[in-house]
Amino acid sequence: MDVFGKLSTYDFGEVHFKLDKASQLQAIVAIHDSRLGPALGGCRFIEYDTDEAAYIDALRLARGMTYKAAITGLAHGGGKSVIIKPKRHFDRSALFSAFGRFIEDLRGHYITAEDSGTGLEDMEIIRTQTKHVTGIDPSHGGSGDPSPFTALGVRRGIEAAVKFKLGKDDLKGIHVAVQGVGHVGYYLCKELHAAGAKLTVADVDKLKSERAQREFGAAVTDITKVAEVACDVFAPCALGAGLNDSTIPHLKATIVAGAANNQLLEPHHGDDLHARGILYAPDYAINAGGLVNVAQEAKGYDAKAAREKTLKIYDTMYDIFERSKRLGAPTYKVADLMAEEQLAAHSARLVAARQKA
């Protein structure tokens, strides 16, 4: 594996590895950038075919967190952790305790939270080993599951996209196809249903799509067909890389806006969407609600402040769409530019402060 070559490709940063044989912990913490503050990002716990796949996932996700915090105006750097889910039977409590000790060893340079495959109970176990964890139980002063906040932000992003692209002020009658109705996808369906949208859902876990059908009147489709549904908005809320050469030519939606991280398999897929006239809501900008919520927890939790900041995702998204139109550039490039402007402005402020001191 080309370890340093990959680091260079993603402009890192630092990466930490941990093997704890007793608990079968194999974990990677990727810290992409900490100019704006300590790196904050979730912990993913899924199976990977190879160590390299886990490593690349951690790098890509951590880089996304730097941009997400910057574009959202949060004083945090970008980091992410990945735990490779053991294929053999394992003790979850022992594994997450070992992970907590690993996080403690990093002395606050990285703060963890939930992501795919981890939940509140895991954060509670981590909390027994380190204070550098967010998304903990509200009964312990935490902000709890970030998914409802992520979903709220995605709903706001969809509203901005619908206003920009379709000229509509609300979501009544807007047809959204949601790919993946897990933590975020479920709450997103709830938000959209309450706003009067029409839903089609697909999930590898049939029980989850049936729940959305029961609770929100969603139509259920096959996971291989959901990207092709004739709808207004395609909302990827499963894992990443769903926008690629096989899916983009078949999209019928005019808007792609969902919660999943790293939706574009390669950056050029953002150009392909732009060329096809499909408005793409850059993933890290639209799905920042969960980060807003856990960042609030890191400085003393205030649910009202977290909600108000999450609602502002509408403005960020609209700004991206307008700049994209003005510059004639794909939205993913515009979002990167806006995040890089924030990082550069912060660095300039630091340099000025040092010169003054």
Q: Which of 38, 182, 270, 282 binds ligand NAD (CB under 6 A)?
A: 182
Determine, following the binding rule CB under 6 A, whether residue 205 of this chain makes contact with ligand NAD: yes
Least Å distance, CB 162 to ligand NAD, is 20
Least Å distance, CB 202 to ligand NAD, is 5
Determine, following the binding rule CB under 6 A, whether residue 78 of this chain makes contact with ligand NAD: no
- 175 vs 208 by CB, closer to ligand NAD: 208
Q: Which of 106, 160, 174, 184 binds ligand NAD (CB under 6 A)?
A: 184
Determine, following the binding rule CB under 6 A, whether residue 185 of this chain makes contact with ligand NAD: yes
The total number of residues shown for the chain amounts to 357
Please pick, among 18, 80, 208, 333, the residue that the annotation labels catalytic.
80
- 18 vs 80 by CB, closer to ligand NAD: 80
Q: Which of 260, 273, 286, 295 binds ligand NAD (CB under 6 A)?
A: 260
Q: Is 209 exposed, middle or buried (0-12, 13-18, 19+ CB in 10 A)?
A: buried
Per CB under 6 A, contacts with ligand NAD among 100-119 are: 114-116
Least Å distance, CB 177 to ligand NAD, is 11
- Known catalytic residue: 80? yes
Instruction: Enumerate the H helices of 195-328 as residue ranges.
Output: 206-216, 268-275, 283-286, 289-298, 303-311, 313-327
Strand-pairing partners, residue 233, are: 176, 255
Select the span of 24-32, 196-204, 243-251, 345-353 touching ligand NAD (CB under 6 A). 196-204
- 78 vs 240 by CB, closer to ligand NAD: 240
Per CB under 6 A, contacts with ligand NAD among 215-234 are: 223
Least Å distance, CB 312 to ligand NAD, is 16
* Separation in Å, CA 127 to CA 80, 134, 135, 155, 226: 17, 9, 10, 31, 38
Determine, following the binding rule CB under 6 A, whether residue 180 of this chain makes contact with ligand NAD: yes
Coil, helix or strand at residue 139: helix
Q: How far is CA 38 from the centre of its chain?
A: 18
Q: In 3D, which of 74, 81, 153 has the Cα closest to residue 343?
A: 74
Q: In 3D, which of 165, 328, 316 has the Cα closest to residue 254?
A: 165
Coil, helix or strand at residue 95: helix
* Separation in Å, CA 285 to CA 87, 92, 232, 303: 34, 32, 20, 20
Active-site amino acid positions:
80
Q: Residues in the site for ligand NAD, rule: CB under 6 A?
A: 114-116, 146-147, 150, 179-185, 202-205, 208, 223, 237-240, 259-261, 287, 290
